[in-house]
């Protein structure tokens, strides 16, 4: 796929990106809360909180400086932590608390602290920290500046999954704040074994708030009975929001803690599946039915043999079924797990509901037998399988690891599509659409765009989508960038190009590729993400003859390229779509016939174009680069290649450097010294203007002083000179589109 620098960098003015990075140079981005109601973006960084008005972020930003408590930096330093990177207040918790306040918690130099931030009502842009509200934050915020952590705020209570001590040895799921007593998990490897928390969400069971459940998603280690080695598995944990702990057993501990394995695997031959066990991220696609969001999970392999990522989708119905199913049981750590087949005490552990009899209205009233059973059986026997028992998307040939996932369900011309935004560990975001093939149960994924959001290859640590604004907010340790969900106009100016892009956000509106609006007039809209056959969709769009590839050889703009005999040269041709296949044709004088270019050891077809390792005289001709996609062909590049014979070259530059003044072909050499760089630029410009007459005049002037010098046979020699200048001066560097294929260049022979 094509890689382009995200337009985010253009959208954010210099001032705005400076602001994003903070005045103290380095933002150390940790947390983000997108407030669609206030149209504000709250950002937690290193010792600083920002509030940006989304429409006027350039001019209207506020910040709060919030360092660790006095003395904590020194203590942190004395305990052997790095004062530059560890001993600061990294704001890792940022949640809306009530109508006027946010809750923020920071690591406080390994001494976590929380505070309320006053953000005012809608329309006000106030932003201040109430110093009186600063509170110890142990169990509410991790000690470490980075690493696994999950939190959610439900009804004024904070639910967190984290390690709650300086040494990172006390992992747990905690509930704090609010009026009820705090709860946590017991310290027990059967409950949590070296967990890495990924996400926490409240998902209701039904309209009765008493039945609300909190779900945590994480990975942990498991040790199988017959082996000493551990493996990593992904888990979902469920606790009841109205859990109050036990009275004599499990005092101030969860009494409704249940966990199940999340399976994401690809069925393989002979029943041997490929498992993706390392959970990276979770995205909840909320549906109208609030109790059944679709759970999108991004995994990677833990295998050393192959690297890959997969996205699996889980349904709440399947998750609930597993938690309502059998508990896992084993006689001893040396036995294998089986389904518990004995009598499960009443009320069933993991359920607290107003529908229970009155004397069980709180977990404190549960019989000890129930709590003992709950404590002994935290694990469910059955795993949760993904929808269709297979991943929605598998990507195995990526150079980067995928870290973050956001999903947008897009209403397109041909129905609904799920567009996945995948953040990599190299500062980029992939935009992928997964198409369900109508004929079979298989899917096809199309990488629509690859956006390099950060110039430096840093891991993307958070992504938030604003469907309202059609924006994606992407965070890394370097800062936060804003990226448009779609940029239909970049796909080109023809109906066929718009169709071939297959971007469900875009459609052809009769004159341009634009954002699809379900309400706009249907007559002109053209898009079919599933099939994208422009021949069908664009027939009446006045593109029939030219654009649909019957013969656009003549109409394509021609470029001229000079190459030196025996030297290498490169004809560039990058198809507009990554899915297109490329074919090269050549028309050699005096022939009118266009033949397909035969590739061999000397002429190679690469992804970027056609490489001649050693140019022969008979290679001269007009080269056409045609792309083919879904039956649509298009001439993307047309290049007249002229080969300059080695004798001619030798004549022009007899083993001298190109800038040797005395040997240039002028009647009376009177050279005006020029900086090589400037020359080069000008020559490029002139060649791209295709005005050879002007090239000749320019060169004559350049080499022979200011007097124009004309001679009939002169042009050829000037061309040599041009080729000579370029050869050896240019590497194959990436260039903006407008400069492509316009200058002779030296290709690195492979």
Ligand X SMILES: *[C@@H]1O[C@H](CO)[C@@H](O)[C@H](O)[C@H]1NC(C)=O
Which residues bind to ligand X, rule: CB under 6 A? 13-15, 97-101, 116, 542, 564-567, 646, 649, 724, 727-728, 746
394, 444 Cβ separation under 8 angstroms: no
CA–CA separation, 507 vs 514, rounded Å?
6
Residue 572 CB, nearest approach to ligand X (Å): 18
Residue 111 CB, nearest approach to ligand X (Å): 22
Q: Which is nearer to ligand X, 338 or 728 (CB)?
A: 728
Residue 565 CB, nearest approach to ligand X (Å): 6
Residue 131 CB, nearest approach to ligand X (Å): 13
Q: Which is nearer to ligand X, 116 or 385 (CB)?
A: 116
Residue 50 CB, nearest approach to ligand X (Å): 16
Residue 319 CB, nearest approach to ligand X (Å): 33
CB within 8 Å of 79: residues ≥ 6 apart: 110, 166
119, 126 Cβ separation under 8 angstroms: yes
Residue 653 CB, nearest approach to ligand X (Å): 7
Q: Which is nearer to ligand X, 98 or 713 (CB)?
A: 98
Q: Which is nearer to ligand X, 631 or 728 (CB)?
A: 728
CA–CA separation, 593 vs 603, rounded Å?
20
Radius of gyration, CA atoms only, the chain? 32
Q: Which is nearer to ligand X, 13 or 354 (CB)?
A: 13
Mark 250-281 as b/e (b = at least 16 C-beta within 10 Å): beebbbbbbbbbbbbbbeeeeeeebbbbbbbb
Report which of 274, 294, 269 is spatially closest to residue 283, judged by C-alpha positions: 294
Q: Which is nearer to ligand X, 88 or 103 (CB)?
A: 103
Residue whose pair of structure tokens reads 């696994």 in the numeric block: 148
* Relative orientation angle of helices 714-726 and 692-704, to the nearest 10 degrees: 80
Q: By Cβ distance, which residue is nearest to ligand X? A: 646
Q: At 337, is the secondary structure helix, strand, or coil? A: coil
Q: Which is nearer to ligand X, 133 or 484 (CB)?
A: 133
Residue 57 CB, nearest approach to ligand X (Å): 12
Report which of 116, 112, 113 is spatially closest to residue 96, judged by C-alpha positions: 116
Residue 532 CB, nearest approach to ligand X (Å): 22
Q: Which is nearer to ligand X, 360 or 703 (CB)?
A: 703
Q: Which is nearer to ligand X, 100 or 606 (CB)?
A: 100
Q: Which is nearer to ligand X, 383 or 510 (CB)?
A: 510
279, 297 Cβ separation under 8 angstroms: yes
Residue 183 CB, nearest approach to ligand X (Å): 20
Q: Other CB atoms closer than 10 Å to residue 727's CB: what's the count?
A: 20
CB within 8 Å of 568: residues ≥ 6 apart: 611, 612, 613, 614, 615, 746, 747, 749
Residue 689 CB, nearest approach to ligand X (Å): 24
Q: Which is nearer to ligand X, 98 or 693 (CB)?
A: 98
Residue 313 CB, nearest approach to ligand X (Å): 37
Q: Which is nearer to ligand X, 313 or 649 (CB)?
A: 649
Residue 10 CB, nearest approach to ligand X (Å): 12
* Relative orientation angle of helices 692-704 and 676-688, to the nearest 10 degrees: 160
Q: Which is nearer to ligand X, 97 or 346 (CB)?
A: 97
Q: At 166, is the secondary structure helix, strand, or coil? A: coil
User: What are the respective helix, strand and coil percentages of the chain, to the nearest 5?
Assistant: 20, 35, 50
Q: What strands, in cross-sheet order, belong to the sheet with 443-452?
A: 4-5, 443-452, 428-436, 415-424, 402-412
Q: Which is nearer to ligand X, 336 or 523 (CB)?
A: 523
Q: Which is nearer to ligand X, 101 or 469 (CB)?
A: 101
Residue 730 CB, nearest approach to ligand X (Å): 10
CB within 8 Å of 355: residues ≥ 6 apart: none
Q: Which is nearer to ligand X, 462 or 746 (CB)?
A: 746
Report which of 185, 189, 132 is spatially closest to residue 161, judged by C-alpha positions: 185
Residue 38 CB, nearest approach to ligand X (Å): 14
Give burial (CB, 10 Å; 0-12/13-18/19+) of 649: buried
Q: Other CB atoms closer than 10 Å to residue 25's CB: what's the count?
A: 9
Longest Cα–Cα distance in the chain:
112
CA–CA separation, 592 vs 456, rounded Å?
50
Peptide bond into 590 cis (omega under 30): yes
Residue 451 CB, nearest approach to ligand X (Å): 22
Mark 595-615 as b/e (b = at least 16 C-beta within 10 Å): eebeeeeebbbeebbbbbbeb
CB within 8 Å of 383: residues ≥ 6 apart: 260, 261, 262, 263, 322
DSSP β-bridge partners for residue 514: 507
- Beta strand pairing call for 384-385 and 258-263: parallel
Residue 541 CB, nearest approach to ligand X (Å): 8
Strands (E), 254-383: 258-263, 265-266, 274-275, 278-285, 294-300, 309-315, 328-329, 338-339
CB within 8 Å of 271: residues ≥ 6 apart: none
Q: Which is nearer to ligand X, 555 or 566 (CB)?
A: 566
Q: Which is nearer to ligand X, 104 or 263 (CB)?
A: 104
CA–CA separation, 12 vs 224, rounded Å?
51
Residue 97 CB, nearest approach to ligand X (Å): 6
Report which of 602, 562, 657, 612 is spatially closest to residue 747, judged by C-alpha positions: 612
* Relative orientation angle of helices 676-688 and 714-726, to the nearest 10 degrees: 120
């Amino acid at each position: 796929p094509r890689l382009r620098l995200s337009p985010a960098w253009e959208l954010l003015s210099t001032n705005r990106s400076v602001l994003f990075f903070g005045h103290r140079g380095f933002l150390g981005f940790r947390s983000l809360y997108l407030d669609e109601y206030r149209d504000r973006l709250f950002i937690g960084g290193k010792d600083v909180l920002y509030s940006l008005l989304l429409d006027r972020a350039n001019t209207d930003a506020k910040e709060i400086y919030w360092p660790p408590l006095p003395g904590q930096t020194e203590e942190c330093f004395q305990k052997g932590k790095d004062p530059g990177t560890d001993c600061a207040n990294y704001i890792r918790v940022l949640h809306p608390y009530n109508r006027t306040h946010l809750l923020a918690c920071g690591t406080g130099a390994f001494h976590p602290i929380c505070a309320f931030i006053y953000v005012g009502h809608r329309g006000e842009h106030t932003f201040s920290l109430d110093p009186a509200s600063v509170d110890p934050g142990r169990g509410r915020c991790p000690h470490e500046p980075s690493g696994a952590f999950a939190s959610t705020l439900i009804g004024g209570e904070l639910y967190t999954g984290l390690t709650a001590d300086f040494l990172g040895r006390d992992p747990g799921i905690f509930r704090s704040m609010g009026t009820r007593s705090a709860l946590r998990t017991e310290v027990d490897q059967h409950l949590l074994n070296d967990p890495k928390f990924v996400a926490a969400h409240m998902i209701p069971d039904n309209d009765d708030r008493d039945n609300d459940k909190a779900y945590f998603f994480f990975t942990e280690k498991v040790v199988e009975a017959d082996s000493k080695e551990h493996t990593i598995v992904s888990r979902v944990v469920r606790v009841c929001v109205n859990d109050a702990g036990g009275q004599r057993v499990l005092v101030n501990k969860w009494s409704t803690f249940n966990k199940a394995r999340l399976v994401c695997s690809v069925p393989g031959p002979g029943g041997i599946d490929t498992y993706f066990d390392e959970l990276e991220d979770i995205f909840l696609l909320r549906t109208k039915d609030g109790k059944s969001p679709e759970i999108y999970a991004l995994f990677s392999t833990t295998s050393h043999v192959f690297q890959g990522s997969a996205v699996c989708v889980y349904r709440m119905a399947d998750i609930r079924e597993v938690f309502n199913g059998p508990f896992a049981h084993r006689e001893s750590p040396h036995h294998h797990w089986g389904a518990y087949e004995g009598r499960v005490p009443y009320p069933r552990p993991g359920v607290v509901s107003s529908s229970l009899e009155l004397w069980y209205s709180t977990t404190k009233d549960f019989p000890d037998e129930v709590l003992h059973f709950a404590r002994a059986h935290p694990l469910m026997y059955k795993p949760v399988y993904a929808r269709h028992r297979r991943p929605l998307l598998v990507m195995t040939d990526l150079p980067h690891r995928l870290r973050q996932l956001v999903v947008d369900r897009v209403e397109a011309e041909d129905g609904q599509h799920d567009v996945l935004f995948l953040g990599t560990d190299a500062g980029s975001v992939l935009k992928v659409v997964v198409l369900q093939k109508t004929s079979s149960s298989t899917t096809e994924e199309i990488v629509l765009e690859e956006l390099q959001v950060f110039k430096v290859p840093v891991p993307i640590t958070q992504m938030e989508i604003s469907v309202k604004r059609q924006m994606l907010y992407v965070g890394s340790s370097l800062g936060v960038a804003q990226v448009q969900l779609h940029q239909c106009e970049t796909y080109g100016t023809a109906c066929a190009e718009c169709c071939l892009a297959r971007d469900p956000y875009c459609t052809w509106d009769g004159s341009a590729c634009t954002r699809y609006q379900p309400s706009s007039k249907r007559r002109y809209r053209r898009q079919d993400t599933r099939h994208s056959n422009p021949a069908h969709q664009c027939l009446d769009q006045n593109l029939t003859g030219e654009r649909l590839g019957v013969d656009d050889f003549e109409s394509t703009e021609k470029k001229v390229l000079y190459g030196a005999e025996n030297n290498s040269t490169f004809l560039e041709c990058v198809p507009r779509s990554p899915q297109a296949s490329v074919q090269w044709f050549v028309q050699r004088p005096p022939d009118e016939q266009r033949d397909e270019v035969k590739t061999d050891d000397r002429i190679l077809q690469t992804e970027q174009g056609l490489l001649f390792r050693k140019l022969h005289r008979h290679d001269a001709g007009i080269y056409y680069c045609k792309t083919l996609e879904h039956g649509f062909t298009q001439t993307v590049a047309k290049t007249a290649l002229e080969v300059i014979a080695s004798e001619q070259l030798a004549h022009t530059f007899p083993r001298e450097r190109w800038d040797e003044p005395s040997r240039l072909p002028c009647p009376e050499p009177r050279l005006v010294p020029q900086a090589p760089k400037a020359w080069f630029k000008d020559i490029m410009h002139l060649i791209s203007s295709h005005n050879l007459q002007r090239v000749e005049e320019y060169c004559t002037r350049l080499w022979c002083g200011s007097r124009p010098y004309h001679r009939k046979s002169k042009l050829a020699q000037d061309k040599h000179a041009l080729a000579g200048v370029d050869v050896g001066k240019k590497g194959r560097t990436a260039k903006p589109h407008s400069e492509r294929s316009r200058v002779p260049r030296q290709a690195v022979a492979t």
